[in-house]
Amino acid sequence: MTIELKFKAQQIRKDMTNNHLKNTHSAKAEFYLKLLTGLRKKRRKAALLSFLKQPFTIKIITCIIIAASTILSEAQEPVDTITMKPLELRELTPEETAVIKYKGTEGPFSGIYYMHSASGTYTCKQCGAPLYRSKDKFDAQCGWPSFDDEIEGAVKRVTDADGRRTEIVCKKCGAHLGHVFVGEGFTPKNTRHCVNSISLLFIPDETE
């Protein structure tokens, strides 16, 4: 196991100890579930190998928890995380789903808004919430649309599973947008929201 994997495992074990769940089968199954779903591809392999060495009971309980959580998450109605009211979400294409729901990344220089410079507002593809203004867009020559500011309160920051990068999601519906980087010095605001075009829908200003 890598040092980071050991660190992650220690953290999860610590959480489990705090919850007095340390020695139960279901807690151990939860532990492996967190490892298998929370890590990046390379480290997931190490976690999977370790999981396969576990007793049959642990494997079965882990599978039951995965099945139950999948059924529950699909049964849940989407909710506006700000107002907690039911949300009407746009139906996504498989390509949009891969990025917006499963946190994929579109190819560099491929998105429709990379070189887009019209005046208007970039909204969330899934729920329509306004996220970015064209005045905050700049050319970072990185292959993805870049903004040095968001519409206040529209974007939520989440630390990636690897603890290195900061993911950005739509605060209203949780759609994956991309990542945010600070301290690169591109603009006076020293911030770059690196956003997948496919997560956005541009609405031009009415005057145009």
Nearer to Zn ion, 28 or 172 (CB): 172
Among candidate residues 124, 127, 173, 194, the one labeled active-site is: 194
Amino acid identity at 85: K
Min dist CB 152 to Zn ion, Å, is 15
Query: Is 124 among the catalytic positions?
Result: no
Q: Could you tell me how far CA 50 lies from the centroid of its own chain?
A: 26
In sign, the C-alpha dihedral spanning 75, 196, 180, 135 is negative
Binding site for Zn ion (CB under 5 A): 124, 126-127, 129, 170, 172-173, 175
Nearer to Zn ion, 78 or 143 (CB): 78
Min dist CB 89 to Zn ion, Å, is 8
Min dist CB 139 to Zn ion, Å, is 25
Min dist CB 118 to Zn ion, Å, is 21
Classify residue 193 by its DSSP letter: E
Min dist CB 81 to Zn ion, Å, is 9
User: Which residues, 6 or more positions from 207, have their beta carbon under 8 angstroms from its beta carbon?
Assistant: 119
Identify whether the C-beta of residue 98 lies closer than 8 Å to the C-beta of residue 188: no
CA torsion, points 95, 101, 104, 109, in degrees to nearest 10? Answer: 60
Identify whether the C-beta of residue 5 lies closer than 8 Å to the C-beta of residue 40: no
Identify whether the C-beta of residue 138 lies closer than 8 Å to the C-beta of residue 187: yes
DSSP states along 103-155 = ---PPTT-STTTT---SEEEEETTT--EEEEGGGEE--SSSS-EES---TT-E
Nearer to Zn ion, 36 or 98 (CB): 98
Nearer to Zn ion, 34 or 176 (CB): 176
Nearer to Zn ion, 28 or 176 (CB): 176
The residues annotated with a catalytic role in the active site are 194
